[in-house]
Structure 1
Amino acid sequence: MIRKIVLAALAATVVFHVAVFIQYGTWWGGALVGYQQLLLVFAFLLPTFWVHAPLARLFGADRLTTLPVSAKALLEGLCVVLVSLVFWLVFFTIPQHYLVPTSEITPKALRVSLAVSAVLSLFFYYFVEREHVRQHLAQEVVRVAQLQKETFQAQFEALKNQVDPHFLFNSLNVLGSLIHIDPDRAGQFLGQLSEVYRALLDSGAQPLVPLHREMTLVRAYASLMETRFGAALRVEWDVAPACEQALVPPTAVQMLLENAIKHNGSTIRKPLVIKVSTADGRLVVENNRQPRPDAVTSTHLGLLNIQRRYQHLTDRPVEIVPTAESFIVRLPLLTAPAV
């Protein structure tokens, strides 16, 4: 709003003094009462600039697609001219008759003023508002491209961690032990392992996925880890069914579980407890802090990637709350995709 007020004030000042120069050969408008017309020009330009933004949205690239391009462009120009003529009459001509009664408005002057108002409106629409829309679209393209890059990076990191030799070795080692001890559980473990990879591949390049789909990946991954660590790891769930249609960035929750297991030790006497819940429109992942003796240096790339993806999607921040006893991350649950 402030931008439009300033722009209207500057444009009115320039237009007024140019008109004075053309008529009188000087930049000075004469008597102070003459500057009432400057206020009228401002009163005309401000609503004109105000209505240009919705007009530009109405005739955007994704609107009125059934019309031929030439017809759409002609209709757009006509709408701009018609709006300018109405505003010129309401905000300039009629007020001028009462505020500046000494000014003579001949039919010729009226026609000229109407033509000038139409030209001014078209000029500011196509060279100011349209340029602003073009820049906004360019920024949106960059934002979408950056979001896609971050999404690909998150998927790549998740896949890379799952094909990590240590992960595969440990998973196959657990599977080998279960085959002899509990064949049924071994089959279940193998199914969960394949579910993790399938869910990772299915996420594709989508910037957002329904929470229930993300939870399919997370539960399969958690089950793998619980099978591997036994009683030393416990994952608790309290996800409200009403939240499962909300949207989250793919692999974000799985990465949080992975980080918790990676950076914390666990024993049967002191198990690592990870709680996944929903509260106040957020998905909360909390774990007790038990630093590993062989601490892994944290690069924070996983959390940074999640934060960056959310920055492209919403103004709601990712909340990270580390304490001496626990580590809590709260992810906003989104209701509609931004791209």
Structure 2
Amino acid sequence: MIRKIALAALAAVGVFHVAVFIQSGTVWVGTLAGYQELLRVFAFLLSTFWAHAHVARLFGADRLTRLPASAKALLEGLCVVVVSLVFWLVFFAPPHHYLVPVVEVSPQARRLSLAVNAVLSLFFYYFVEREHSRQKLEQEGYRVAQLQKETYQAQLEALQNQIDPHFLFNSLHVLGSLIHLDPDRAVQFLGQLSEVYRALLDTGAQTLVPLGREMGLVRAYAHLLETRFGDALRVEWDVAPAWEHFQVPPTAVQMLLENAIKHNGSTTRKPLRIRVSAANGMLVVENNRQPRTDVVASTHTGLRNIQRRYQHLTDRPVEIEPTPASFIVRLPLLNAPAA
């Protein structure tokens, strides 16, 4: 609003003195009455700029999409002219002697004033308000591009973690052992492994996925981990079906499980416990803290990636709560975007 007031004041001074110069051959106004007229020009322009913001929103890129582009542009310009006419009637049509008693305005001057105001209104709309709208649209495009970049990075990191030779070696080693010991479990393990890769590839360029879909990936991934670590890992689930239609960034929950495995040790006597739950509009991933004996350097890349993606999507922050006994991350559950 301050920007519009400043712009209206500058434009009013410019327009007023140009009009004075055209009429009198000088930019100097020697009477108080003349500057009272300047106040009226300022009020007219401020009201016009305020109305222009609403017109720009009405004819935004995502509005009135069923109209042909030419018809939409014509209707938009007509709207601006009508707004100019309404404000001209409010500020300039009443007799001048109420505000500027020494100035007499002829009917011809009134008609010229009406035409000039309409042209000025169109000028200010297309070169001020629309330019501002264009800049906002560019900023939105940049925001979307950044979000897509973060999503691609998350997918790349998730795939790299799964394709990592160490992960593949361990998975194939577990699979080879199960083939001899328990063929049925081996088949199940192989199915879960393929499910993890399929889910990662299916996310594509999506910035949000339903929680139910993400949980399918996470449960398949957790099953691989539980098969590999046995009684040294316990994953608990407490996510009611009512939450599954809410949205989360793809692979975000899986990255939290990876983070817990990476930074904590586990044994059958002291298992690593990971609990995934949903409550109060948040998805909570909590694990007990058992620092590894072979310390792994933490770059916090995964957590930062999740935080950056959420910053592009919502004002609700990702909550990270480390304590001596546990590490808790709360992800906001988002509503599905409007179709």
Question: Shorter-chain TM-score: which interval?
Answer: over 0.9
Which consecutive aligned stretches of 4+ in structure 1 deviate over 6 angstroms post-superposition?
A: none
Aligned-partner Cα distance in 1 for 2:306–2:56: 34
Q: C-alpha displacement at 1:107, in angstroms?
A: 0.8
Aligned-residue offset at 1:95? 7.9
Partner letter of residue 51 of structure 1?
Answer: A
Matched residue SS, 2:294? coil
Question: Does structure 2 conserve the Cα–Cα contact (< 8 Å) formed by 1:43 and 1:92?
Answer: no
The more displaced of 219-228 and 173-182 is: 173-182
Q: Which of 315-324 and 154-163 deviates more?
A: 315-324
- Provide TM-score, normalisation by structure 1: 0.94
SS of residue matched to 2:48: helix
Distance 1:314 1:277, change over 3 A: same
User: Counterparts of 2:148 and 2:198 in 1: how far apart (Å)?
Assistant: 20
Distance 2:94 2:243 in 1: 57
1:239 match: 239
Q: Specify the alignment match of 1:71 in structure 2.
A: 71
Looking at structure 2, the residues matched to 330 and 111 of structure 1 have their Cα atoms a distance apart, in angstroms, of: 64
Q: How far 1:323 sits from its partner (Å)?
A: 2.0
Q: CA 1:94–1:269 in structure 2 vs 1: closer, same or farther (change >3 Å)?
A: farther
Aligned partner of 1:150: which letter?
Answer: E
How far residue 230 of structure 1 moved from its aligned partner, in angstroms, is 1.4
Aligned to 1:230: 230
Measure, in 2, the Cα distance between the counterparts of 1:296 and 1:46: 61
Gaps of 5+ in 2: none
**Paired residue for 2:283?**
283
Between the aligned partners of 2:53 and 2:96, the Cα distance in structure 1 is 27
**Residue number in structure 2 paired with 1:59:** 59
Matched residues in 1 for 2:95 and 2:106: separation?
Answer: 16
Q: CA deviation at 1:203?
A: 0.6
Partner residue, 1:48: 48
User: Is 1:15 aligned to 2:15, yes or no?
Assistant: yes
Of 60-69 and 295-304, deviating more is: 60-69
Mark the CA change 1:271 to 1:125 in structure 2 (over 3 Å): closer, same or farther. Answer: same
| Percent of aligned pairs with the same amino acid | 80
Q: Quote the offset at 1:122 in angstroms.
A: 0.5
Match of 1:105 in 2: 105
CA distance in 2, matches of 1:137, 1:201: 30
CA displacement 1:246-281 (0-9 Å, x = unmatched): 111100010010111011101122111111112221
* Contact persistence 2:33–2:102 (CA under 8 A): no
CA shift in 2, pair 1:97/1:303, >3 Å = farther
The amino acid across from 1:114 in the alignment is L
Task: Provide structure 1 residue ranges, at least 5 long, that are not aligned to the other structure.
Answer: none
Can you list the C-alpha shifts for 1:112-154, whole angstroms capped at 9, x where unaligned? 1101110110010010011111111112222212211111111
| CA distance in 2 between partners of 1:334 and 1:94 (Å) | 53
Three-state SS of the structure 2 residue aligned to 1:71 is helix
Mapping 1:62-141, distance limit 5 Å: 62-94=62-94, 96=96, 98-141=98-141
Shift in Å at residue 31 of structure 1?
A: 2.2
Q: Is the 8 A contact 1:147 1:309 kept in 2?
A: yes
Residue 314 (str. 1) matches residue 323 (str. 2): no
Task: Using the TM superposition, give the Cα deviation of residue 33 of structure 1 relative to its aligned residue in structure 2, in angstroms.
Answer: 3.4
Q: Does 1:164 align with 2:147?
A: no
Q: Following the alignment from structure 1 to structure 2, what is the Cα–Cα distance between the partners of residues 316 and 334?
A: 9
Task: Report deviation, 1:96.
Answer: 4.6
- Which piece of structure 1 moves more, 321-330 or 206-215? 321-330
- Paired residues in the alignment total 339
- Of 190-199 and 15-24, deviating more is 15-24
**1:284-299 to 2 correspondences below 5 Å:** 284-299=284-299
CA distance in 2, matches of 1:83, 1:65: 22
The residue number in structure 2 matching 1:26 is 26
Deviates more, 1:33-42 or 1:58-67: 58-67
Q: Would the alpha carbon gap of residues 102 and 280 (structure 1) be closer, same or farther in structure 2, given more than 3 Å must change?
A: farther
The amino acid across from 1:148 in the alignment is: Q
Deviation at 1:184, TM superposition (A): 1.9
Cα distance in 1 between the residues matched to 2:48 and 2:296: 61
Query: What RMSD, in angstroms, separates the aligned Cα atoms of the two structures?
Result: 1.9
Alpha carbons of structure 1 residues 198 and 96: separation in structure 2 relative to 1, 3 Å:
farther
> Quick one: which amino acid aligns to residue 274 of structure 1?
I
Partner Cα separation in structure 1 for residue 338 and residue 139 of structure 2: 14
Shift of 1:97: 5.2
Distance 1:202 1:110, change over 3 A: same
Partner of residue 153, structure 1 = 153
In the other structure, the counterpart of 1:201 is 201
Matches of 1:320 and 1:120, distance apart in 2: 53
Partner SS for 1:93: coil
Distance 1:96 1:182 in 2: 97
| CA positional deviation for 1:293 | 0.7
CA offset at residue 198 of structure 1?
1.0
In the superposition, the TM-score normalised over structure 2's length comes to 0.94
Aligned to 2:304: 304
Alignment partners' CA distance in 2, 1:220 and 1:208: 19
CA drift of 1:103 comes to 2.7
1:287 maps to a residue whose letter is: N
Once the two structures are overlaid, the 10-residue window that deviates more, 201-210 or 329-338, is 329-338
SS where residue 295 of structure 1 aligns?
coil
1:251 is matched with: 251
